[in-house]
Amino acid sequence: MSGKASSSQSTTGFGSGGLSHVYIQHQPLHCSIRGSRGLFYDDGTKLLISTTSNQVISWKTVPFSPFANPTTDSISEGPILAVRFSLDEKLIAVQRSNSEIQFWLRETGEAFNQKCKSESESILGFFWTDCPLCDIVVIKNSGLDLYAFDLVSKTLILVETRKLNVSWYVYTHESRLVLLASGMQCKTFNGFQLSSAGIIRLPKFEMVIAKSEANSKPVLADEDVFIVTIYGRIYCLQIDRISMLLHCYRFYRDAVVQQGSLPIYSSKVAISVVDNVLLVHQVDAKVVILYDIFSDSQTPISAPLPVLLRGLPRSNSLTSQSNGGESESSETSNTNDHETIIYGDDWKFLVPDLICDVANKLLWKIHIDLEAIAASSSEVPSVLEFLQRRKLEANKAKQLCLAITRTVILECRPVPMVAKAMDAIVSSYSLSIKTGSFFKGIKVERSLTGVPNVNSTGSGTDVPTSRTDGLGKSIKYESNSRYNSGLVNRSSSYSASDSEDNGSSEPLKTISDNTPEAQPSSLQSQPPGPINNLVNPNVSEQQETQLATPAISPDEMYKFVFAAVEEEMVEEPSYLVAILLEFLRSANVEKVKVHPNIYVLTIQLLACSDRYAELGLFIINKILEPSKEVAFQLLELGRENLQTRKLGLDMLRQLSLHHDYVLLLVQDGYYLEALRYVRKHKVTGVRPLLFLEAAFASNDSQHLAAVLRFFSDFIPGFQSTTDFCAYHRVLGEMNGTITV
Amino acid sequence: MGLASVNPSSEGLQLCIFDLRRGQHEGQELDKILFFYPADLPFSTQLSVTGLSEGLITFTRIFSPEAACEVIEAERHSHVFYEPEPDIWMVMVVEKSKEAEAIWRTDALREVLKEVHSLFMMFHGSIRALLDKEPGGGLTRSHLYPFVMDYLRDIFSGKKLQLPSFHDCLNERRTVQMLTVGREAAIEVQTLVRTLESSAGNTHCFSLILFQDLLVSSTLPPEDTINLFTYAVLRLTPRALSSGVSSWSYLRKGYSSSQVAGGSTFAHSGSVAEQFSGSVAEQFSGSCDTSSGDDRYRVVRPLQNDRWSKGKDGFLITDIWGTEVGDLDLATPTVWLKHTEARMYLCAYQYKSLTVIFLIPVNSILNGEQGVSMEKQKFLENASLKILKVEEKLSKGWGGENAYHVSGYRYLLVDSNRAISRASPAGKVTTLTKESLLALHMLRDEVDLEKGKNKWDHKAHDKDLEMCIRAKNNAWVIARITGGKELYMVLEKANEKLLYASDAVEKFSDRYCNGAFSLD
């Protein structure tokens, strides 16, 4: 198909101003294979897998690229209910029937089988795990079997069995969490988290289903339950069609807590998570609602709007526009090579942020449009907070934050509001410093595994037809098998898998939100790239992926905000001072170090409105912390205002910048004081000539003699220098004979 | 006790203000005199004081046109001169009593004159301007008289006139005492200041924030800060409001406790004050004929005692400035700023120990009192939360009365660059023996002299100075001046070695003055 469409966003038809906060970018990953019988998504390895009768073709979806090359593995012919690659991708596991799983060693092509022992058991599905106890977990209607794989003997060794009745299950690799449904209504759940830290069993819990009538007993289906991972926390979302609510449960290590419900406006709902933003697709209504489940707030970020298809070649743009609304027909008619029907029946939503168009064998990745979201809200502080939490497009979020901050300052918005904005920025920076993410300039290519940020591109999973409803939810094998295509949707692992792993390693417990970034991996001490760019936020798009976090350092605040607005704020120096103070206040609260630049700027602003008295207060109270830069700025202003000069001198002395201090004393004519200071602090390397000249200029022979004498004592060998001789002679001329 | 006493009705103190440009002709000499205390002194006596002063001024001007006579030391009196405005002179004559208490330091007395004049300027503008407004002088006299008398009343305690004597040599008038705050609190305070500023919109407002009797922040230039600070401490701070009997802040700090303890002294002084004010009114109406009944001049008396109180909304109110016609609202006080030469409305808001004064240019408010109350409303909306926070922060960090006591030291630290001083708490200073104080007094006199010389010698060049005296009671009395900063201290019960004394200074300097005095 249109292979040439550039993957860059620049082709976007409508620009960010379009009526949409969520878009999919043309062009998608094409995964049609001749003879394909099934389409699966393996979220453990993030591979999109298409199978033919004897081949397994897989595409990497992380990082997401429409041009990913498929890898082909041959296997023996037979039915395929599910396919999963081992986490190291050395093995392929294929579920052949409800009682048999076959394994291939990819290097050698060796195969072996694993069957259920008892006839009555049937395999519902399986997944690979990085749990230290075992390598693969098989879910059967009678419980879980945990196997370790023995490479030498090429056999599976049963490590542990957990007996449970299981009707169906949900698993996502990102959460490492498997939820097992049981009971008549399938609303009783057992949960296990199998992470690299071991196995954690969750307390049994029940989900809530409203009853339409007294006797009705609605049964919960696997497509009604989604596991989502947001900010490293694991939630479960459950659709309640009767009350039209999406119940939200949060998992802790020892508890499952219901955390309120979100309204739904469609009987079919799908969930995606993009960059920790929860997207609730109201499929029937063809709109998506965004939530940022960070605090307890359950207010949507934005109004419901359709998903937009971006970047279609021009002719099609109309179509895509119309998609939002209804359009299946119109679209189909327009799009030539692939019919993109927004919220079409063939859309399957994969965990966490991919959409698979099963009919056309296309895989789309979902993006959120930060600019549009930012533009749709006037609550600057909360917009900044939202943007600061974005990791995928960290650079864009950062540039947006900078631009927004500049704008509010230039518009002289009320100080308390700007103060909150400063708080948002500074606390985010402080957090990123603590977690170390600020210093990670990660290159995308480098780490598929896992730096969440990087994954921005990579979250996609292609799932063939399996029906993943929402994000994050994977469909079980069972369900897959039910669907015609028999694809397996596994929950897709998604971006940030690593981070999540970390998260999951401390399982359900309240995982701190930042865990993802906690990876100590590459701490580079150099600041992120964009620093060098201009103030223009748009310039640096290309560097986008290198940033791990949109956090803005004080230095960047200076360069891109304060210094940038300063010239335009000439009329309002006191307003800018107020803003700077708010910034310092935030920084102080968060214990963030502020670059002297900002202090220097504050001093200049105060001085230019002639507020030297206040400047003195600022210095004395150390609101502007002492530094060499500050001291020199004070000294420079000292030409206008003597007191300020003294403040600068005092600061030099307090900072023990002996040489500068001594030099300035001499310049001001206090050469004797300077000498005393030199003696007391043993300042070496002073140039006697300066002192001698100063003493000579004062025309006081006693002073000159004192200086000569001082250096004769202080500097060994001084008496044999030319300086000494010259001034000794001068002294002699001044008053006859004096012996030094 | 600690204060020199002068019988107010006797010739212990004379204070006069006169204008050399007036009364140039024989027989009109009385016209020169704008103010004289005591007013009931015969004109001939008054004239002899001014005549002598004028003669000396004229004579000394021949040699030193820029700075004429500063002081005359006669056998029984000291005459202290001060020329606050060109050709307007203030002269204070104090008796040199045989009692040892009456030992004055000229510079300290001159500071009193400066203070009277500066405060007067702040409320009424310059004397010259008043004279120009009404060349007859009646307007000026009717303003000066009640003002200076109100001021002097503060100095009277009991029957005695408390002038700064050697007991007060660990104090510096015309300086501001600052609260030392941590960085966090300082930032909080400054954000409050900015909030005030921004709530005023485009008009150029000023603010002054005090905690207890200490300055926390000021956006005014130093001179105006000193004046407003002085007034605030005299009349506006919580202590001034509650004490009823006002006296100088540092005096109060030293003596209020003891006075309160002895309630009788208190009551007594109150009655004296009443008497006194009665006589003021009498003298006043006699000489100037304006105070009551006659509306020739409407004179505002900002230093009147007990006229400020805290209103329900937290703003301080007073009827000193009268009431608006046909309105129950009290008129808002106004002050005149030296720096901007503009008249400003003075609004003072108090929350617990925090007093926030903000000044709004009169000409920026078109509809008078109504406009002011709107501004106050805005102030409350924008700042009251911040004020709560700041007060809390400052209270938390407040070390109490003796916060700035350094054990073993009795000190006075003056930063003349910024007109700031800090001293040992007065209660601690009283523990010093008279010998120590007298020695320090002498030392300060000496230093004043040096400073005076230096001032005329090298204008821009600060001279370092160090003096160390071993007093009769074996106390060390030390003065050190460097870079415009002055440190005076008394070390009693000290080791006899000079090295010990200099070490003590060094230690003090390093710990409390950022090493400013540790140059060698």
pLDDT in tens, A343-389: 777 788 887 888 888 888 888 888 888 888 888 888 888 888 888 88
Interchain pair B186, A588: CB under 8 A: no
Residue with tokens 């002719």: A315
pLDDT at B92 over 90: yes
Q: With pLDDT > 90 as the criterion, what percentage of chain B qualifies?
A: 36
What pLDDT, on the 0 to 100 scale, is given for residue B232?
A: 94
Nearest to B33 by CA among B281, B288, B291, B280: B288
> Cα–Cα distance between A516 and A453 in angstroms, integer?
9
pLDDT confidence of A297, banded at 50, 70, 90?
confident
> Cα–Cα distance between B333 and B347 in angstroms, integer?
7
What pLDDT, on the 0 to 100 scale, is given for residue B216?
A: 94
Whether B488 and B382 have beta carbons less than 8 Å apart is answered as no
Query: Within a 13 Å sphere around the CA of A523, how many CA atoms are in the beta-carbon half?
Result: 9
Q: What is the DSSP letter of B154?
A: H
Strand runs labelled E in A224-268: 225-230, 233-240, 245-251, 256-263
DSSP-assigned states of every residue in A81-144: SEEEE-TTSSEEEEEEETTEEEEEETTT--EEEEE-SSTT--EEEEEE---TT-SEEEEETTEE
Identity of the residue in A589, A614, A620 whose CB atom sits nearest the CB atom of B219:
A614
How many CB atoms are located within 10 Å of the residue A639 CB? 9
pLDDT at A116 over 80: no
A-B CB pairs within 8 A amount to 87
Arithmetic mean of pLDDT, A660-685: 86
Tens of pLDDT, residue by residue over B292-345, are 334 456 788 888 888 888 888 899 988 888 765 555 567 888 999 988 888 999
Residue with tokens 């400020």: B308
Arithmetic mean of pLDDT, B255-275: 35
Least confident of A165-169, A201-205, B163-167: B163-167
CB contacts, 8 Å: B417 with chain A: 642-643, 646
> Cα–Cα distance between B39 and B149 in angstroms, integer?
10
pLDDT confidence of B148, banded at 50, 70, 90?
very high
pLDDT confidence of B271, banded at 50, 70, 90?
very low
> Cα–Cα distance between B447 and A448 in angstroms, integer?
77
- Provide the token pair at A663: 């030099």
A439 shares contact with chain B (CB less than 8 Å): no
What pLDDT, on the 0 to 100 scale, is given for residue A356?
A: 85
Arithmetic mean of pLDDT, A554-574: 86
Helices A722-734 and A701-714 cross at an angle (nearest 10°) of: 150
Q: With pLDDT > 70 as the criterion, what percentage of chain B qualifies?
A: 82
Least confident of A375-389, A622-636, B433-447: A375-389
What's this model's pTM, rounded to 2 decimal places?
0.79
What pLDDT, on the 0 to 100 scale, is given for residue A363?
A: 86
Residue with tokens 């056309």: A360
Q: What is the DSSP letter of A557?
A: I
Share the mean pLDDT of chain A: 76
Whether A648 and A629 have beta carbons less than 8 Å apart is answered as no
> Cα–Cα distance between A179 and A196 in angstroms, integer?
18
Interchain pair A679, B520: CB under 8 A: yes
A154 shares contact with chain B (CB less than 8 Å): no
pLDDT confidence of B158, banded at 50, 70, 90?
low
CB contacts, 8 Å: B518 with chain A: 680
Contacts 24+ apart (CB under 8 A), B19-25: B19/B87, B19/B88, B19/B89, B19/B127, B19/B131, B20/B54, B20/B57, B20/B87, B20/B88, B20/B89, B21/B87, B22/B131, B22/B137
A653 shares contact with chain B (CB less than 8 Å): yes
Q: Which residues of B260-271 are buried (b: 16+ CB within 10 A; e: fewer)?
A: eeeeebeeebee
pLDDT confidence of B273, banded at 50, 70, 90?
very low
CB contacts, 8 Å: B190 with chain A: 581, 617-618, 623
- Provide the token pair at B263: 């309630």
Least confident of A432-446, A588-602, A696-710: A432-446
pLDDT at B265 over 60: no
A673 shares contact with chain B (CB less than 8 Å): yes
More confident call, A659 vs B297? A659
A613 shares contact with chain B (CB less than 8 Å): yes
More confident call, A104 vs A477? A104
What pLDDT, on the 0 to 100 scale, is given for residue B33?
A: 93
pLDDT confidence of B17, banded at 50, 70, 90?
very high
CB contacts, 8 Å: B225 with chain A: 613
Arithmetic mean of pLDDT, B341-365: 91
Strand runs labelled E in A575-705: none
Interchain pair B225, A584: CB under 8 A: no
Tell me chain A's radius of gyration from C-alpha atoms: 34
A577 shares contact with chain B (CB less than 8 Å): yes
CB contacts, 8 Å: A679 with chain B: 520
> Cα–Cα distance between B281 and B288 in angstroms, integer?
10
Output phi, psi for B505, to 5 deg: -65, -45
- Mutate one of B209, B378, B416, B417 to test the A interface: name it (highest A CB count within 10 A): B417
CB contacts, 8 Å: A673 with chain B: 464, 482, 519
Whether A344 and A4 have beta carbons less than 8 Å apart is answered as no
What pLDDT, on the 0 to 100 scale, is given for residue B356?
A: 95
Tens of pLDDT, residue by residue over A320-351, are 444 443 434 333 334 444 556 777 777 888 87
More confident call, B99 vs A542? B99
What pLDDT, on the 0 to 100 scale, is given for residue A441?
A: 54
Identity of the residue in A416, A578, A625 whose CB atom sits nearest the CB atom of B197:
A578
pLDDT confidence of A15, banded at 50, 70, 90?
very low
Least confident of A686-695, B62-71, B285-294: B285-294
Residue type, B107: D
Arithmetic mean of pLDDT, B251-263: 35
Arithmetic mean of pLDDT, A397-403: 90
Identity of the residue in B188, B225, B417 whose CB atom sits nearest the CB atom of A585:
B188
Interchain pair B191, A623: CB under 8 A: no
pLDDT at A515 over 80: no
pLDDT confidence of B8, banded at 50, 70, 90?
very low
Interchain pair A673, B464: CB under 8 A: yes
Computed from CA positions of residues A500, A506, A512, A517, in that sequence, does the dihedral angle turn out positive or negative? Answer: negative
- Mutate one of A417, A569, A593, A621 to test the B interface: name it (highest B CB count within 10 A): A621
B202 shares contact with chain A (CB less than 8 Å): no
A108 shares contact with chain B (CB less than 8 Å): no
Nearest to A168 by CA among A501, A470, A485, A473: A473
Whether B413 and B423 have beta carbons less than 8 Å apart is answered as yes
Whether A561 and A405 have beta carbons less than 8 Å apart is answered as yes
What pLDDT, on the 0 to 100 scale, is given for residue B90?
A: 95
The SS3 assignment for B103 reads coil
> Cα–Cα distance between A174 and A610 in angstroms, integer?
59
